[in-house]
Chains A and B, each alone.
Chain A
Amino acid sequence: MDESPGLSDQYRKASPWPVFVALGLPLSEIGLVFDLFPIAVGGLLLFCGSIVGLLLESEYASTVWKPLVVMSGLLGVFGGLLIFADGTTDVTLLTRAYATFAAAIVMALGVVAGKLFVPKRGIPT
């Protein structure tokens, strides 16, 4: 008889997020490399959103807002780099930059809306 079955009494053995992280990453890569604006925006949203979900679930974050702001900021910087690089190559990178900005803006708007309309809540520590 196994007297001490390990952590699993409290351990959460299922998480819906990994599969979406793993779907969001290739979608955003395909969208950005092949210059497919909707795929890039959707993929980035899925990727970043799932990471936020993971952070929340594993209690590295207590609300979604801060991680979303950070993700939004990182995408903004990446988009800026793309605009900078656009001037150095014959290939146009502008729509790719706009796609990252779009994803960043959607997330930022989500944060603003969330902060305004969602009552304060969080996972107790």
Chain B
Amino acid sequence: MAINAQIALTVFMGVLLIAVIAWLTRIEDWRSYSASAGGVVSQGERSEYIEQEKPAGIVRWLTTVDHKDIGILYGAYGLFAFAVGGLMVAAMRIELATPNTTFIEPAVYNSLLTSHGITMLFLFGTPIIAAFANYLVPLIIGADDMAFPRINAIAFWLLPPSAIMIWAGFFAQPLGLGFGPAQTAWTMYTPLSAGVGNDPAGGAGIDLMLLGLHLSGVAATMGAINFIATIFTQRDENVSWANLDIFSWTILTQSGLILFAFPLLGSALLMLLADRNFGTTFFLTDGGNMLWQHLFWFFGHPEVYILVLPMMGIVSYVLPRFAGRKLFGFKFVVYSTLAIGVLSFGVWAHHMFATGMDPRLRASFMAVSLAIAIPSAVKTFNWITTLWNGRLRLTTPMLFCIGFVSNFIIGGVTGVFLASIPVDLVLHDTYYVVGHFHYIVMGAIAFAGFAGIYYWFPLVTRRMYQATLGKAHFALSFIGTNITFFAMILLGYGGMPRRYATYLPQFFTLNAIATVGAMILLVGQIIFVWNLVTSWLGGKRIESGDPWNLKEDGVHTVEWQWLDRRIETALTDGGDEEPIADGGEVRTDGGTESDDN
């Protein structure tokens, strides 16, 4: 490297480190470590900073280790990533409105395709679940905070750098840094991703993406360890395994899956990185491509359940609240969660039926893949039975829950067909697969996320969202999802291959319909963001800890009781002052009497 660049980097790092130290000395009370500043300081009066608990303004958000604050940070981050991933796919769908290249070049299309998948799975899906889990699990199980609050903060703060690294290629190209974004698809199949030849699929963009993914995996693993420790050791004495709520059960199972799946992804990514940069040949010799696929999908399939199980937990938690009854067959929903968790590690090779792997192995994976439909169906029937003869209230979260069940059935049944080897060999790598898994990831996972966001919006912000906009969001999302992804299923039956920027004219009509559906989805999500932002800033304040009238049905759960207490505390302490939104609005001081639980 040129000597000037080295000097520039050295200066940059020096300035950065000095800035960090300067900032630390400003906000960190060094006396707390030093007896010399004022004799021996006893615990509890180590510094004013601790007594105030939370510093003001932006520093509060940079330094917080409070599970609720970190939950909000995760949520904001996840929604930002959702917007980025959504805009990426909007550009792709506009390109696919016509058979030929008109709007974006194929290379750009490939990059967007790669980043859309990775963004939605790793930067939106996992973090948005962590948002719910961080905010709610400690409240619901009666813990004071997460078991390791600082690890919790580290896990969150690893995500912004990982997003920057994953998207780096998009910035690097215009800046003239000599590399572009990765074009490997989210599966990063070798030899394409291994940099063979002149590395046409992204160069250093791939390396940065691998590092970013690795970081996000480290973050997810840290979070998972934290949740397992919290649920095992921090439960209130009233909370036993027998009466642990369904959401915490799904988070516990998901954390177990993460614990086994993500470190494996991390190892595989490092091996690929070593192949690309350090002269190893893990994936470059005979069988290397199969090895990558096995390692990737051993992580990749559990990843689907890592994303869907907590979302199923949210539906199992929220749906009964608006059906006026308890979840039907609670125990069996828990058992099916655990069963899915275990079985999810035995199905990975159904992604590889077309690779030419041993047919006997293939058959065993087909059997397990078909079997996993059983616990999934148990859950579905339990949700339907919960609704049966219930006193249904079609609030926005309830609509999204019902939409979830509906879309999950279509996504699930199309998946059962794919689990069958002969059907898969016909439909493999067609738009049928894309339609199937988007029914799950958009139609189910995102829908449950919306249900959770609307349901707990008053808990976090102490304000109500605008109900009409919420219902418009639901209607547009539901119609948009079904138009877009059903068209894709039909395209797949017609034989249209996935991942291409152009297609044959015979597929035009259905592609145009899919694009129209995607635009409907886009409008719905714009309404969603508008609703969230304006309601958070100026929505109607809630007056009690029971905005959903849950007390009527005797299902006023613990997090709402907590809100009740907080509102009461705020009123007692502050008279008729505005209650403090939890990190929501313009509060310069996050730490007050009422902000303490």
Contact = CB atoms under 8 A, between A and B. Distances in A.
Contact of A123 (B32, B144, B153, B204): B32
Contacts of A101: none
A41 B278 contact: no
B14 interface: yes
A41 to B, nearest CB: 7
Contacts of B277: 33, 91
B482 to A, nearest CB: 40
Contacts of B198: none
A64 to B, nearest CB: 8
B154 A18 contact: yes
B60 A14 contact: yes
A114 B218 CA distance: 33
Given A30-B211, A46-B17, A91-B277, A124 B41 contact: yes
B260 interface: no
A2 B13 contact: no
B53 A14 contact: yes
B356 interface: no
Interface centre among A9, A12, A56, A89 (most CB of B within 10 A): A12
Q: Per DSSP, are chain B's interface residues mostly helix, strand or loop, or mixed?
A: helix
Contacts of B64: 13-14
B565 A10 contact: no
Interface string B60-95: 101111100100000000000000000000000000
A119 B53 contact: no
Given A16-B28, A22-B158, A89-B279, A2 B62 contact: no
A36 B9 contact: yes
A38 interface: yes
A122 B1 CA distance: 44
Interface string B158-172: 101110010000000
Contacts of A17: 150
A112 interface: no
B150 A25 contact: no
Given A46-B20, A56-B33, A38 B13 contact: yes
Interface residues of A, number: 53
Contacts of B10: 38
B597 interface: yes
Contacts of B565: 1-2
Nearest to A119: B36
Contacts of A119: 36
Nearest to A9: B596
Contacts of A29: 211, 214-215
Given A16-B28, A19-B153, A33-B211, A8 B17 contact: no
Nearest to A54: B150
B50 interface: yes
A116 interface: no
Interface stretch (B389-397, B486-494, B566-574): B566-574
A121 to B, nearest CB: 5
A14 B54 contact: yes
A33 B273 contact: yes
Contacts of A38: 6, 9-10, 12-14
Interface in A79-109: 85, 89-91, 93
B158 A15 contact: no
A15 B65 contact: yes
Contacts of A74: none
Which of the listed residues A22, A36, A46, A85 has the most CB atoms from chain B within 10 Å of its own CB? A22
Nearest to B208: A30
Nearest to B276: A33
Interface in B551-566: 565-566
8 contacts: A8-B144, A11-B145, A26-B215, A38-B12, A41-B13, A53-B24, A85-B278, A93-B278
Given A91-B277, A124-B40, 20 more contacts: A1-B565, A1-B572, A2-B569, A13-B64, A13-B69, A14-B53, A15-B65, A15-B153, A18-B154, A21-B154, A23-B157, A26-B158, A26-B212, A29-B214, A38-B14, A46-B20, A57-B150, A119-B36, A123-B33, A124-B42
- The 4 A-B pairs at the shortest CB distance, nearest first, are namely A42-B13, A22-B157, A18-B153, A89-B279
